[in-house]
Amino acid sequence: MFKKSLIALVSLLSITAFAQTDLVLEGERWLAANKGYVCGAYSDYTNAPSSHSGMNVVWGDLSTDYTLDNVLIKATFENANGVECSYSSLLFADNDASTIELLESRAFSKVDAAADCSEGKAILDSQLEYNDYLYWGHPHHATLMVPAAGAAEVCGAGATHIGIDFMVYKRL
């Protein structure tokens, strides 16, 4: 009985530890750094929409595999209690249609394992669910056009989306 209980506890701890790590993209080939927010390709950089500034979202790198179809994005945000949460998402890019779709994501706190990051994760997940993306410029940019509260405040009346812009900087 003790042996079964111990195995169950170790299994639960393993699952919890696994969920407390960022997602990984096997075969990463291209890296792109976040450059900020834009209202469209070739537009000037602008402020974060209120849905991101309110959570202090900081986008990290975007990486893709050799096919450019599989994408990993990392970010951090603060939960309602001000605890920093790590966020990572795997997405699938349909390059012919210029669309990108969320496949899986994780959010957790590296500083407080008990912190609840689910609300911020849900917001980012809903924004990354299915979107157009723009591939433009030289050096090359990949911009995810996401729906965001506050887009009209920074991109003008009627705007519902804002671009999270990444610029390619390295081939692995």
As a whole-number percent, the residues of the chain with pLDDT over 90 amount to 88
Q: Does the global pTM surpass 0.85?
A: yes
3-state secondary structure of 42: coil
Q: Which long-range contacts (CB under 8 A, 24 or more apart) does 39-44 make?
A: 39/154, 39/155, 39/156, 39/159, 39/162, 39/163, 40/134, 40/143, 40/145, 40/163, 41/134, 41/136, 41/137, 41/141, 41/143, 41/163, 42/136, 42/137, 43/163
For residue 147, cis peptide bond before it (omega within 30 degrees of 0): no
Six token digits for residue 25: 């993209």
Give the pLDDT confidence score for residue 53 in this predicted structure. Answer: 96
CA torsion sign for 117, 119, 125, 127 is negative
Q: Which residue type does 31 have?
A: L
Q: Is the pLDDT of residue 61 over 50?
A: yes
The mean predicted confidence, pLDDT, of the chain is 90
How do residues 4-42 score in pLDDT, each as one tens digit? 333 333 333 333 444 689 999 999 999 999 999 999 999
Cβ-count burial of 112 within 10 angstroms (0-12 exposed, 13-18 middle, 19+ buried)?
A: middle
Give the pLDDT confidence score for residue 76 in this predicted structure. Answer: 98
Give the pLDDT confidence score for residue 3 in this predicted structure. Answer: 41
How do residues 86-139 score in pLDDT, each as one tens digit? 999 999 999 999 999 999 999 999 999 999 999 999 999 999 999 999 999 999
Whether 73 and 60 have beta carbons less than 8 Å apart is answered as yes
Give the pLDDT confidence score for residue 19 in this predicted structure. Answer: 64
Give the pLDDT confidence score for residue 54 in this predicted structure. Answer: 96
Tally of CA atoms within 13 A in the half-sphere of 20 that contains its CB? 14
